[in-house]
Structures are given as C-alpha cells and as structure tokens.
Structure 1
Amino acid sequence: MSLQLGTLEEMILIILLMKDETYGVEIAKEYKNQLGQSISLPAIHVVLKRLEKKGFVNSRMGESTPERGGKGKRMYQATNKGYEVAQEIQHARTKIWSTIPKLNFSIA
C-alpha cells in the first residue's frame, strides 16, 4: 500500500479512526482539541473528498433535521484500507525515529 498521504490527510484520517462515524464540524472540533489549531470546514471537506477518492474513507448522507433546514449531514467513516495505510505510516515513522541517535540532541 502507498504511504502517499499529506500531513493534513493523515491527521484527518486518524481523527476518523478515533470515531465510528462523524461529520465535518466534529472533525474540526477534534482537530482543535488534539492539535491546538483551528482548521476551516472547506479545508476538511477537500481532504475528505481526497481520502474518499483514495478509498480510505466512506461517506453517506445522514438524516435530515429541522435544525439544518431539512438537510442531512454528510457522515464519514474510515475504511479498513484507511486503517491499514495509517498503521503503515505509523510503523514507518517508528522505524525511522528509532534510527535517530539520542546523544546528538538535548532538549532544554
């Protein structure tokens, strides 16, 4: 499997893996909680479309609600393929980090 994911794609995929199913606003909240940074909904939706095209995410239209003027939310869920690629990325990072000599760096 290809490890070709950008950092933002990877972060959003990991957030999706944390949840059973979620939507854009909840992803933005979790992104802020986990990373301490805000992200716009349009940016999230662009990434979700890319992830879906790659087969890492599935989506469906949720039930319509009066609060949303009769519109439903698009709900997203990570796929098995998404889990596998995220796991491969994590393994690759762990392997690379393990090669860094600890003696060369000191954190003050």
Structure 2
Amino acid sequence: MAAPIRMTSTTRSVLETLRAAASRDAPTYGLEISRETGLGPGTVYPILRRMERNGLVRAYWEDDTPDSHGPRRRMYKLTGEGLALTEEKQRPRPALQPGWVS
C-alpha cells in the first residue's frame, strides 16, 4: 500500500479542484488543474501521481479522435474514496470542550 497523503494546502487545492470537476461530472486534466489552482505543473503532477497510487484518483488517456487538436491529455477523476475524503474534509470539526485533561 502506498504511503498516506499529507494534506498540505497544495494537496487540498488540487483535491478541491477535482471535487469541483466531479460535481460537474466531468474529468479534468493536469494543466487545467494547474491553471485553476495557480500551482505549477511541477507541483500538481506529483500530487496527482500520489493520489492515483493511493486510489483517490483514476487517471486515463483521453480518446484520440480525428477532430482533436494537439496531443492526448491524461484525464483525472476522483474515485469514490477520493470523493469521500473531500466530503470528510468539508465537515465542520467539533469544537473542543474546555475542561481538565488528565
């Protein structure tokens, strides 16, 4: 099993962009994620690879069609586990109750 993903601010940004794409029921590609998050491709692609290794994202190559322009894109889509992680991160955390700690 791959090492767990640390939830840094950059990882959260990529995850939120993938969640937004999932809400539109549309996969997205790395450069689009880079553009939407404001992060460079050298930051986004390693995060996507770690997410894929951990089963949070499914990646596949875009179909090559005769009317397509440019090279094929590697598309990314959240898995059920990845979507559950984004929903878990959205839940408000319970407030800490003041009191004694023993």
- TM superposition score normalised by structure 1: 0.68
Residue of 14, 17, 21 corresponding to 1:15: 17
More helix by percentage: 1
Equivalent pairs, count: 88
| Aligned residue type for 2:13 | M
Residue of 92, 95, 98 corresponding to 2:93: 95
1:7 offset after TM fit, Å?
Answer: 2.2
Identity of aligned residues (%): 24
Q: Tell me, in whole angstroms, the C-alpha distance in 2 between the residues paired with 1:88 and 1:4.
A: 15
SS of 2:75 mapped into structure 1: strand
CA contact (8 A) 1:3 1:85 kept: no
Match of 2:33 in 1: 27
- TM superposition score normalised by structure 2: 0.72
Gaps of 5+ in 1: 32-37, 100-108
CA contact (8 A) 1:64 1:73 kept: no
1:41 equivalent in alignment to 2:18: no
Q: Tell me, in whole angstroms, the C-alpha distance in 1 between the residues paired with 2:32 and 2:51.
A: 17
Match of 1:102 in 2: none
CA contact (8 A) 2:34 2:41 kept: yes
